[in-house]
Amino acid sequence: MLVSKDAPERNRQPLVVGTAAELAAAIEERLVAAASSGSGATLGLVPTMGALHSGHESLVATAREHNDVLVVSIFVNELQFNDTADFERYPRTLDADVEILARAGADIVFAPPVHEIYPGGRPLVKLDSGELGSKFEGASRPGHFDGMLAVVAKLLHLAMAPASCPVPVKYRAYFGQKDAQQLVLINRLVKDLNYPVDVCSVPIVRTADGLALSSRNQFLTPEQAEAALVIYRTMDMIKGRAENHEPLFLDDVVELFDREPLVELDYFELVDPDTLVELAFNCRDTPFTGEGLLLVAAQVGNVRLIDNMPLGY
Ligand code: PAF
C-alpha cells in the first residue's frame, strides 16, 4: 500500500511491536511503501514513557505532520528514576496510549519489555551527562540524566532506518520543550556521538490557566493544582518585565512562592537557552536585554513540577 505524504491515515490501529527486530522490519516496510519512485522518505520518532496527555499529542501531531513514517516508543525507563517509589507509581496505561496514538496517526508503537532495551541488565557502559547533567534537575535527581541519555541513545539507534533499507531516509526525533535540560543534553548527545538525526523540539502545552501538562499532574489534588499556578504566574510576570526591558528583580519571585504554602520552590533561574549557563549578570537589577530561558522547579506534595519560559524572543 502506498502511504500518501500529504494525508497520513488517522484512526487506524498502529502496529504495536515489542522487539528491536520487529521494529526494524516494520520501519523498513513502511519507509519503502512511503517512498515514491526515486525519492526518499522521512521517519519520525517520538520517545515517550507513556501515560500520554495533550502535551504528547502535540508532539505526535507535529511529528505526524512532517514525516511519512511515525514511530512512537513507550518505555518507562527505570534508569532515569532516582526514586523507586516514583518509578513504581508512574502510570502505565498502554491500551489507552495506543488508542490516543491511533487517533493521532502513529504508524508503529514500540513498547518493548525491559530486557529488550537492557538485555544484559543494567548497562555496563554508561553515558555521563557531566556538569550539565548534575545541576538544576540533576542536583535533586542524581543519575536521572545519565539514565535518560542511556535510553534515548538506545531508542535513537533502534528506531533508525535499518542498514538494509533501500531508500534514502531523513530521520527526526521529537522532544518537548518542557524538559529543557533534557533537550539540551539530547542535542549534545546527538552532536557528540554524531547521530544521523535531527532533534526537533515542540512547545509546552498548558492548561487554560497556565499549568504545564505533565503525566504527574494527575497526582495533584485540586488545591495543589491551583497553588501550582504560581509557577506560571511568576514566569509570566518576569517575562513582562523582560519585554519592557526592565530589571527582572528575580528575588521578588521568592516572596510570591512564600505566599503559597503548598508549593516549595527549588530553583527559579534565568539561563542561556543553549548552554543553561546562569545569566545572573543580565537579570538582577539592570534592564534585561538579549535572550534567556527561565527555568523553574518546585515540589507540590509528592509531585515535582518543572517548567520554563523563553524571554526576549
Ligand atoms: O521525556 C520523557 O518522557 C523521557 O525522558 C524520554 C525522553 C522518553 C526518555 O525516557
- Per-residue pLDDT reduced to its tens digit, 233-292: 999 999 999 998 888 888 889 999 999 999 999 999 999 999 999 986 656 677 888 889
Residue to probe by mutation, ligand 1, list 78, 93, 146, 179, most atoms within 8 Å of CB: 179
**pLDDT of res. 249:** 87
Are residue 53 and residue 105 in the same domain, yes or no?
yes
pLDDT band at 2 (very low <50, low <70, confident <90, very high): very low
- Report the percent of the chain where pLDDT is more than 90: 84
- Find the domain containing 186 and state its range: 15-202
Name, in order, each residue with C-beta under 8 angstroms of 292's C-beta and a sequence gap of 6 or more: 242, 270, 271, 272, 273, 279, 282, 283, 310, 311, 312
Are residue 245 and residue 274 in the same domain, yes or no?
yes
What is the pairing mode between strands 108-110 and 15-17?
parallel
CA of 208 to the centre of ligand 1 (A): 24
Query: What are the pLDDT digits (tens) for 191-240?
Result: 999 999 999 999 999 999 999 999 889 999 999 999 999 999 999 999 99
CA of 256 to the centre of ligand 1 (A): 31
**pLDDT of res. 8:** 53
Are residue 187 and residue 294 in the same domain, yes or no?
no
CA of 70 to the centre of ligand 1 (A): 17
Query: What are the pLDDT digits (tens) for 72-127?
Result: 999 999 999 989 998 999 999 999 999 999 999 999 999 999 999 999 999 999 99
Which active-site residues does the annotation give? 56
* Residue nearest (by alpha carbon) to ligand 1 atom 5: 148
Whole-angstrom distance, CA of residue 301 vs CA of residue 195 = 39
* Residue nearest (by alpha carbon) to ligand 1 atom 1: 48
- Which residues sit with their C-beta closer than 6 Å to ligand 1? 47-49, 77, 80, 148, 151-152, 179, 182
Are residue 184 and residue 238 in the same domain, yes or no?
no
Q: Give the residues across from 171 on adjacent strands.
A: 43
Are residue 193 and residue 143 in the same domain, yes or no?
yes
Are residue 183 and residue 223 in the same domain, yes or no?
no
CA of 179 to the centre of ligand 1 (A): 9
Are residue 159 and residue 129 in the same domain, yes or no?
yes
Average pLDDT, the chain: 93
